[in-house]
Structure 1
Amino acid sequence: MPRWSKITLKIIAIIIGLVLTIFIVLALYINVNKKSLLLSINKELNKNLNGTMVIGSMDPTFLKGFPNVSIRLNDVLVKDSLWQKHRHTLLAAKDLEIAVSPLAMLRGTIQINKIGINNASIYLFTDSNGYSNTSIFKKKDKNKDSLQKQESSAAEIKKFTLSNVNFVMDNQKGNKLFHFLVYNLKGDMNYSGSGWEGDLDLKVLAKSLAFNTKRGSFIENKVLEGPFEISYDEEKGFLNVAPNTLNIGDDPFIIGATFDTSKEYTDFKINIEVKEIQWRNASALLAPNISSRLNMFNLDKPLAVNCTIAGSMGPGGDPAINVKAIVKNNVLSIPGGKIEDCNFAGTFTNNFIEGKGHTDANSAVKLYGFKGSYAEMPFSIDTASINDLNKPIATGVFKAKVDISKLNNVIGDNMLKFGKGTADVKLAYKGDIVNYTITKPYLQGIVDIKGADFTYVPRKVSFKNTAISLNFTEQDLIIRNIRMQSGKSIVLMDGSINNFLNLYYNSPEKILLKWKIRSPELHLGEFLGFLGTRKPKARKRTPKSNFSDNLNEAFEMSKVNMNVKVAKVYYNKFLATNVNADLLLSESGIAIKNVSLNHGGGSLKLNGSVTQQRDVNRFAINTTLSNVDIKHFFYSFDNFGLTSLTSQNLRGFLFSKTNIAGMISEQGKILPNSLNGSVIFDLKQGALLDFDPIRKVGKFAFPFRDLNNITFSNLNGKFDINGQRITINPMQINSSLLNMDVAGIYSLGAGTNIEVDVPLRNPKKDEDITDKKQIKERRMKGIVLHLLATDGEDGKIKIKLNRNRDKTK
């Protein structure tokens, strides 16, 4: 072996031997001087403490901290001076390892290069008055010279570790509670004249991160794992945490923070960023007052989130929270449905109006460029806002162009069933939110519907090729340019509802829809569904009622005031022209006012009502007819239920006043025997053709006269109708072939009893007399036949002599 190699090995051996000798000497020294060293360590550690630090025992662990000398301190307790009052121990460690410099020990001093805390509890406590047990650490006196500073300064710890440590920061004055179970934490510290820098690597379980204990904890029961770079500026009092990746649960976050310790209460600002995270994972990291609201929603795909939390460790409530999120090509689940193809940029802040506090009431959510498809209906909202999470108010401008058949997916098929057609929607809305469903919205904007087919299901009425323009103002609903077609009927409508939205939500029974209706041709038979019992019945509104139920109820409870002008109206055999009417539709029926029309060459005026009952409809009408062709009139109304007197028996021009009540079926038929009221008539230029009761009288009294065609210069009278019984008030019939006086009861069933006085004198003999008085006196001259029309045994009317009438004569 070369001589230099031998010398080198000898030097190394000497050094190793020297080191071992030193360590042996130190071991012997420590074992021999445990008590004095423990006192020295206590003195060093207590140098800057306003309280006590008690160490149960001490053992050397040389190789563990090589080249430093490691000492394990057992059963370490650190208490502040007011521990007896609040009973919260700042540090209770079963095992506290300290690595000290051997050279410093040889000089008779203690220099701590590393400290490790294992199986311990750290409790930082601040009471409701602001006192903290961390006041045990003395602050530096900046007025002393550098030597005094050095002699009185706390030990500089180069490295530290925590393992199985329960860490609590309980700030009762600020209502803050931070509680972590530290599985492992390692840190390297570098000191400079202006402060220190440190590298940390941690794995902890967050039991509580409550910036306001009244609101609950962030990241509760989540594991945090990752590295940190920390620096502290002693002059400014700033602690800076450089942005780095930290795993919270299964999601990687980029987290950075700053803490300003120069003030009485430390201010902080934490920046959190995650590139991709599931909605529910993000919600689970937030305090319950926020997560409970967010859990009403969900997103199928991850989203990107950036969040800042800023506040103070002192009193003052919640920190300021600002969140930004980006959602692309996602599926948003909301109460009641899903929004497909969802895209938006969203923000949240609990400091919406500066100076009003970081509260739910001062919180706001804003969604920018919101686009999506709900129930296969694409829509967009430029900016949607939700303000005040205590009493949420939603605002925005809703835009959509949709196939209205897709509305069936939203409102169901109990009320309106849509076919083809399109709707252009642009509505600015503002509404309360209950369970994060918009209720009682105030709308402003336009809905244009074109080419629509739909059926109003409760009344079984269908419309084709419909156009509607709805204009929502701040208070009213203006309806313009409606074109509706049902079968052959074409209806053009304009309308309005004053105070619509307020009444819709609060008093639907007070809604009054004012319509102006115009039509070139209207077939009433196509709208008979409105006479039927409503199917299905509208359900009463409850807190759980959906939009369809509420709209359905409003339709039924509201009133409709219609001014109608129709060129032609058809109903079965009835035809009217130039129809004008005012109609009031309500839940109970229809009020008919100021009806005027032309029919049968004359005119008709009508007022009345139709009241809906379970299976039928009760009606009451007052009519005035002027110069109406009686044949057309009776034909149009199916002879008013009469069987003996029909349109085929009548000719002439009718002037009449009626006051009739009765019942009409769901099919629009007058129910037999339901009529009650009176008819006053005056028939001019009339004729009675083949009227069987008179013809039977004529055959008995005048077998040689032709009574099939009896003309009248003027015929007037009054009928009182009561079901089957028609009372013929005394009237004179002056015809071309026969005069008679008629009075009594004509029954559609049993009970006919009509007295007929017929002079046998031929009226033609008086044709040349012009004196009306003389005609009246001669009318009943000569032989007068007194007849009685009554029920026969075979159910037919029988004519016989009225012998009782002869006796009175």
Structure 2
Amino acid sequence: MPRWLKITLKIAAALVGLIIILFIALTVYVNNNKQKVLAMITTELNKNLNGTLTIGTIDPTLFKGFPGVSVELKDVVLKDDRWAQHHHTLLTAKDLVVSVNASALLKGEVVINKIDIDNADIDLFTDSTGYSNTSIFKTKPKVEKGPKEKQTSSSTQIKRFSLNKVNFVVDDRHAYKLFKFAVNEIRGRMDYPGKGWNADIDLNTMANSFSFNTRKGSFMKNRLLKGHFDISYDDNSQVINVAPNNLNIGDDAFNVAAKFDLKKPETPFTINLKVNDILWSSAANLLAANITKSLKMFDLQKPIDVTCDLNGSFGGSGDPLIYVTAKVKNNVLKAQGGTIENCSFKGVFSNNYINGKGLNDENSVIKLYHFNGSYKDIPFTIDTAFINDLNTPVATGIFRSRFPVTKLNSVIGDESLRFTKGIADLKLAYKADIVNFKFTKPMITGNVDIKNADVNYIPRGLVFKNNSIALKFTEKDLYINNIRLQNGSSIVNMQGKVSNFLNSYYNDPEKILIVWQITSPEIRLGEFLGFLNSRGGGGESSASTYKNSRAAKARVTSQLNTAFDKGQAELHIRVAKLYYKKFLATDVTADILLADNSMKVRNVNLKSAGGSLKMAGLILQGPTNNFAISTTIDNVNTNTFFASFNNFGLKDFTSDNLRGFLSAKADIKGGINNAGNLVPKSIRGTAIVNLKEGALVNFSPIKSVGKFAFPFRNLDNITFGDLKAQFDINGDQIKIAPMQINSSVLNMDVEGVYSLSRGTNIALDVPLRNPKNDNKIADDGERNKKRMKGIVLHILATDGDDGKIKIKWNKNHKKTKTDDDDQKTDDSQQTPEPKQD
């Protein structure tokens, strides 16, 4: 070994030995004078504090920080001078070890090789007035330096640090911020290239609170944060940059980047998070409670891609700017209203919907772009859907869809309408409040077109085929255009309007009034008898069946049923031909009001049987459909008219017995069953009849009298002058007011009761004289005196044992003076009394 090397090694060994001796001496000195040294250190440190620092014990550690100088402090407590008021201790540390570079210390620099803090609590507290317990550190006065004064400074550098079992709290009650971390372990290394520093940090900590606004809740609440950070600081810009790196937040791996600007006193920051394949519920739970509540209106079955950008400041009192994006593809979306399959969209959340209106719930928005999916197998698209104002959420958007109309059956239920064919095309703009995560009372504008549809209206048992309909929703009204309904051979074209539709539909569907303009080339009323029925189907039992699994659909169905069944419809009808069984009417016009289980008929005008008919009335639906009508008949062909209505239930007096032209006025009440037939014994009312150019053809009661009373007269075709009569109807009893019949064969006075069952009792006064030439008497008074001259037969038509009408003498007839005079004059003309049977 060269001599110079031997000398060098000896000198180095001597120096190392000297240093060891100095460390040992320092250690021995400190150990022997702990209290004195501790008092000196704490006294010196407290000079620069607005508060107190206490250290339980101090121990030099010779080998722990070698070749640096290491000191282990135990039970370190740091309190500001207002601690008695707020009771928040800035630092409480059970163990704190500081290792300082000895050679750097000799140069006037403090280079901390390592700081280890174990079992500690750090509480940075700011009260509501803005006072902070960090004010314990006195601010050094600024000293102006001359231009030629040498700029010198010393810097404190930390090489390594670690925290174990440390509770770190930033509680700012002035800015409503609360950050609480339970640090399991943090280990870091730092270097100082140029102006600034770089740090590599490994983090393992529980985020108990990460709240920028305690009134809104915490981000990442109770989530374990575990990962690595590369952090740098530049002295010139005074900006801390956190390079993008992976951080596990709970069970999900995020890529996190951040920037903090220390130049400004409020310390603005930007935090960027990105994650792939995270569940919607997991992502929502990482945000503040007020945002989570809104996002949980929905849930997605498959993982999604999410980014979150936070821009705010630690010194500000408001929320940070929050911007969250989510990409969803071929997913399953679940909401309170149902499930959407094959769902794809780009979602955005922001709490700054309109610039300048603040970062708050009222100015927050959820945007869904290019929303595609299918609901109950109904495909649809929404170009852009918005949900804004999280305090009172409102959803808006434009809904488009084209689908087979049969798919509506699973949406609205099949208790009211069942579609079997057709295509629906929808374009609707909607706006809806959201209450308890449910869309409530959406307001709709736009169009719905349905073509070539077959639909069965279940409650009334009606089937419509080859139908079309065009709905136009405005802000207030609903227009129903170009409707074509076909039921059997009946074809109906309709135009309708519902004023204030949506408001009435949601708030009081029973008050909905739809005004229809209806035209048709041909209607057969028998095909619409379902409207006479009371509402059918087991509504209540159906509702209980769907109570749990289809609650939303049941609500829609119930409201739709109410609107259909109890809403009112005003019909203005123009029909070229109207058929009802044997009845045919042409040029029909009518105004009808359909209300809850009632039908008001007004201004009915039609042509039938060569004449015309006017009518107004009311039908009340029930087990028996009760009606009340007022009718005016003008100059109808009697034979055709009676045949059209099945002789109005008469058995012995039919259309085959009548000829002539009938005019009448009738006010009648009664019942019609669901098959459209009159209910027996239900008719009540009055009919006033005028028959012109009448003839009685083959009427058996008259012919039975004529067999013996008028054997030489033609009773097969008895012609009349004007015949006027009044009938009071009471069930199956028809009361005939006193009536004069003047015919070509005989004259007759008639009065009594005709029964459709039992109880016929009709008095007939029939003079035997032949009135054949009475029409030659010009004077009406003279002709009237002569009509009852001569022998008069007083006959009673009553029920026979076989159910047919029998003729017998009317023994209870009250003779008048005229009768006695006639009998004296014409005794020779009397005929034998007919047999009773």
Q: Which TM-score band applies after superposition, normalised by the shorter structure?
A: over 0.9
SS in 2 for 1:693: helix
Correspondence 1:652 to 2:653: no
CA–CA separation in structure 2 for the residues paired with 1:724 and 1:308: 87
Comparing 797-806 and 547-556, the one that deviates more: 797-806
CA–CA separation in structure 2 for the residues paired with 1:101 and 1:30: 19
Does the 8 A contact of 2:27 with 2:61 survive in 1? Answer: no
CA–CA separation in structure 2 for the residues paired with 1:373 and 1:616: 45
CA–CA separation in structure 1 for the residues paired with 2:214 and 2:522: 72
What's the CA shift for 1:22? 5.6
CA–CA separation in structure 2 for the residues paired with 1:38 and 1:101: 21
SS in 2 for 1:780: coil
Q: 1:557 to 1:765 in 2, by over 3 A?
A: closer
Match of 2:608 among 594, 599, 603: 599
User: Which amino acid is the alignment partner of residue 283 of structure 2?
Assistant: A
What's the CA shift for 1:720? 1.1
Does the 8 A contact of 2:616 with 2:630 survive in 1? Answer: yes
User: Which amino acid is the alignment partner of residue 747 of structure 2?
Assistant: N
Report what 1:353 is aligned to.
354
Correspondence 1:189 to 2:190: yes
Correspondence 1:557 to 2:586: no
Aligned identity (percent) is 55
CA–CA separation in structure 2 for the residues paired with 1:294 and 1:700: 100
Report what 1:98 is aligned to.
98
Match of 2:671 among 644, 651, 663: 663
What's the CA shift for 1:29? 4.4
Report what 2:86 is aligned to.
86
Does the 8 A contact of 1:178 with 1:209 survive in 2? Answer: yes
CA–CA separation in structure 1 for the residues paired with 2:26 and 2:3: 34
User: Which amino acid is the alignment partner of residue 624 of structure 2?
Assistant: V
CA–CA separation in structure 1 for the residues paired with 2:289 and 2:711: 105
CA–CA separation in structure 1 for the residues paired with 2:698 and 2:334: 78
Does the 8 A contact of 2:24 with 2:62 survive in 1? Answer: no
Aligned pairs for 1:362-381 (under 5 A) are 362-381=363-382
CA RMSD of aligned residues (A): 3.0
User: Which amino acid is the alignment partner of residue 598 of structure 1?
Assistant: K
SS in 2 for 1:803: coil
Match of 2:557 among 528, 548, 567: 548
Q: Normalization by structure 2: what TM-score?
A: 0.90
Does the 8 A contact of 1:311 with 1:318 survive in 2? Answer: yes
Report what 2:122 is aligned to.
122
CA–CA separation in structure 1 for the residues paired with 2:193 and 2:150: 18
CA–CA separation in structure 1 for the residues paired with 2:219 and 2:206: 12
Report what 2:695 is aligned to.
687
Correspondence 1:566 to 2:575: yes
CA–CA separation in structure 1 for the residues paired with 2:254 and 2:211: 19
Q: What are the Cα deviations for residues 775-809 of structure 1, in whole angstroms up to 9, with x where unaligned?
A: 32321121111112234456543322223325444
Report what 1:72 is aligned to.
72
CA–CA separation in structure 2 for the residues paired with 1:128 and 1:702: 122
CA–CA separation in structure 2 for the residues paired with 1:4 and 1:413: 108
Q: What are the Cα deviations for residues 9-58 of structure 1, in whole angstroms up to 9, with x where unaligned?
A: 98997787666556544543443454455456546765753322211112
Comparing 42-51 and 257-266, the one that deviates more: 42-51
Report what 2:830 is aligned to.
none
User: Which amino acid is the alignment partner of residue 736 of structure 1?
Assistant: S
CA–CA separation in structure 2 for the residues paired with 1:286 and 1:310: 14
Provide structure 1 residue ranges, at least 5 long, that are not aligned to the other structure.
none
What's the CA shift for 1:456? 1.3
CA–CA separation in structure 1 for the residues paired with 2:720 and 2:16: 153
CA–CA separation in structure 2 for the residues paired with 1:382 and 1:432: 19
Does the 8 A contact of 2:233 with 2:241 survive in 1? Answer: yes
CA–CA separation in structure 2 for the residues paired with 1:481 and 1:499: 21
CA–CA separation in structure 2 for the residues paired with 1:305 and 1:290: 15
SS in 1 for 2:180: strand
Correspondence 1:587 to 2:596: yes
Report what 1:460 is aligned to.
461
Correspondence 1:757 to 2:758: no
User: Which amino acid is the alignment partner of residue 593 of structure 2?
Assistant: L
Match of 2:643 among 626, 631, 635: 635
SS in 1 for 2:562: helix
What's the CA shift for 1:736? 2.1
Report what 1:215 is aligned to.
216
Report what 1:395 is aligned to.
396
SS in 2 for 1:64: coil
User: Which amino acid is the alignment partner of residue 50 of structure 2?
Assistant: N
Does the 8 A contact of 2:649 with 2:756 survive in 1? Answer: no
Q: What are the Cα deviations for residues 722-776 of structure 1, in whole angstroms up to 9, with x where unaligned?
A: 1121111111112222211101111223332211000111223546555544432
What's the CA shift for 1:178? 0.8
Report what 2:831 is aligned to.
none
Q: What are the Cα deviations for residues 561-600 of structure 1, in whole angstroms up to 9, with x where unaligned?
A: 1111112212122221221111111113111111111212
What's the CA shift for 1:260? 3.3
CA–CA separation in structure 1 for the residues paired with 2:231 and 2:617: 89
Q: 1:6 to 1:790 in 2, by over 3 A?
A: same
Does the 8 A contact of 1:695 with 1:707 survive in 2? Answer: yes
Comparing 12-21 and 63-72, the one that deviates more: 12-21
Does the 8 A contact of 2:518 with 2:571 survive in 1? Answer: yes
Report what 2:824 is aligned to.
none
Q: What are the Cα deviations for residues 296-349 of structure 1, in whole angstroms up to 9, with x where unaligned?
A: 211122212221222233453322212122112211111131111211112111
User: Which amino acid is the alignment partner of residue 56 of structure 1?
Assistant: G
Q: Normalization by structure 1: what TM-score?
A: 0.93
Q: 1:301 to 1:469 in 2, by over 3 A?
A: same
Match of 1:576 among 573, 585, 603: 585
Report what 2:723 is aligned to.
715
What's the CA shift for 1:205? 0.4
Does the 8 A contact of 2:534 with 2:597 survive in 1? Answer: no
CA–CA separation in structure 1 for the residues paired with 2:300 and 2:48: 54
What's the CA shift for 1:106? 7.5
Q: 1:109 to 1:25 in 2, by over 3 A?
A: farther
Q: 1:505 to 1:107 in 2, by over 3 A?
A: closer
Q: What are the Cα deviations for residues 248-297 of structure 1, in whole angstroms up to 9, with x where unaligned?
A: 01111122223334444333332222233110110111122111222221
Aligned pairs for 1:485-564 (under 5 A) are 485-536=486-537, 546-564=555-573
User: Which amino acid is the alignment partner of residue 306 of structure 1?
Assistant: T
What's the CA shift for 1:172? 0.9
Report what 1:321 is aligned to.
322
Does the 8 A contact of 1:786 with 1:806 survive in 2? Answer: no
Does the 8 A contact of 2:337 with 2:439 survive in 1? Answer: no
Q: 1:304 to 1:117 in 2, by over 3 A?
A: same
CA–CA separation in structure 2 for the residues paired with 1:508 and 1:107: 90
Matched residue count = 806
Q: 1:111 to 1:398 in 2, by over 3 A?
A: closer
SS in 1 for 2:64: helix
CA–CA separation in structure 2 for the residues paired with 1:761 and 1:222: 119
Q: 1:279 to 1:148 in 2, by over 3 A?
A: farther
Comparing 167-176 and 193-202, the one that deviates more: 193-202
Report what 1:736 is aligned to.
744
CA–CA separation in structure 2 for the residues paired with 1:486 and 1:2: 123
Correspondence 1:610 to 2:619: yes
User: Which amino acid is the alignment partner of residue 783 of structure 1?
Assistant: I
Q: 1:42 to 1:258 in 2, by over 3 A?
A: farther
Match of 1:778 among 777, 786, 789: 786
Provide structure 2 residue ranges, at least 5 long, that are not aligned to the other structure.
820-837
SS in 1 for 2:535: coil
Comparing 599-608 and 35-44, the one that deviates more: 35-44
SS in 1 for 2:421: coil
What's the CA shift for 1:455? 1.1
Report what 1:257 is aligned to.
258
Report what 1:448 is aligned to.
449
Correspondence 1:419 to 2:455: no
Q: What are the Cα deviations for residues 649-672 of structure 1, in whole angstroms up to 9, with x where unaligned?
A: 222221222111111111211101
Report what 1:270 is aligned to.
271
CA–CA separation in structure 2 for the residues paired with 1:806 and 1:702: 24
Q: 1:807 to 1:689 in 2, by over 3 A?
A: same
Comparing 277-286 and 744-753, the one that deviates more: 744-753
Does the 8 A contact of 1:173 with 1:315 survive in 2? Answer: no
What's the CA shift for 1:128? 0.6
Report what 1:622 is aligned to.
630
SS in 1 for 2:254: strand
